[in-house]
Structure 1
Amino acid sequence: MTAQIKLVEITDANRDAVVALRVHPAQERFVASVENSFRDAERHPEAKPWFRAVYDGDVPVGFVMVSWNLVPGPEMRGPYFLWRLLVDAQQQGRGYGTAILDEVVRRIRAAGATELITSCVPGEGCPEPFYRRYGFVPTGEIDADGEVVLSLDLSARP
């Protein structure tokens, strides 16, 4: 199945439904909650957080947050960094993760990006295999939090 999604701004009208999205309990150590993502975005405006709810029709199925065109520095990778990608536990296995990345890649490429960077906590059940299947490759770096840094060359993606 090819998931059909739309990225939607988060407003007072949909905030509670988006905050209620949860990954499987076994994934919680790898993916921060939407609520924590909002807090991180508020604490780090210099990271230029851009976030959206992910909908399939009228149903919220996920959340994505990207550092959008920031000036990279010692503590921040960029200019485009996939900060959060969350698909609700009830919605996993339906192609939403790939569809979300496809849409993010489309948008950041339109903004002039040539690379998307992300990182993930290593361990059993981590999202690294998903990212690698998508085309991300490890850079060889481990960040200050012990996360594996991965890069997606946008010129290599259709």
Structure 2
Amino acid sequence: MPGLVKITEHNVEAACRLQVRPDQEKYSSPVAWSLAEAYAQPDIAWPRLIVEGDEVVGFLMGFFDIEWDRPDDRRSGLWRLNIAAEQQGRGYGRFAVDAVRAEARSRGHDQIYTTWESGEDGPEGFYLTLGFRPTGETSGGQIVAVRSVH
């Protein structure tokens, strides 16, 4: 059964070694980049490693309570998701989305957001399968999508 752990001095190196498939690199940022963003924005970033036993199998970073287009539009959701190339197709991505949903629900949110880049081999099908629906918005050229936390 997978679990979530905080990134610490004991596992940060393993986190930074995590690699997605080569064809997915254009759709995801390296974990080290995500950790730098989390360090720079600690009030909103929620970085976690996905582990199976002692093995790091993935990385997720949630975001909570960011101001979107206007001060009264605050959003939370999945900011980054990297599943190790050799671990894909085993349910870890679904586990990550469910973990962010649970955390958002515990913070009183009704929905979560994510974004993705369009592309023939991109992550759109994965997110649609998990219940995300495009909002019609874009952010930095990416599709914005939302789903319920329930």
Fold shared by both chains (TM-score > 0.5): yes
What's the counterpart of residue 39 of structure 2? 42
Contact 1:5–1:54 (CA<8 Å) still a contact in 2?
Answer: yes
Aligned match of 2:14: 17
**Corresponding position of 2:57:** 61
Q: Secondary structure at the match of 1:70?
A: strand
Gaps of 5+ in 1: none
The superposition leaves residues 37-60 of structure 1 with CA deviations (integer Å, 9 ceiling, x where unpaired) of 0122234446x1111111011110
Encode CA deviations 1:66-92: one digit per residue, 9 max, x unaligned. Answer: 112334345xx7421311011000100
Going by fraction, where is strand more abundant, 1 or 2?
2
> Are 2:23 and 1:26 aligned?
yes
Matched pairs, number: 148
Q: Does residue 127 in structure 1 map to residue 133 in structure 2?
A: no
Q: 8 Å contact 1:69–1:79 — kept in the other structure?
A: yes
* SS of the residue 2:66 aligns to: coil
Q: Structure 2, unaligned stretches of length 5 or more?
A: none
* Offset from partner CA, 1:86-127 (integer Å, 9 cap, x none): 100010011110111112211211211111001011111111
Alignment root-mean-square deviation, CA? 1.6
Which residue in the other structure is 1:88 paired with?
A: 84
Corresponding position of 1:112: 108
Amino acid at match of 2:146: S
Which residue identity does 2:119 align to in structure 1? G
TM-score by length of 1: 0.87
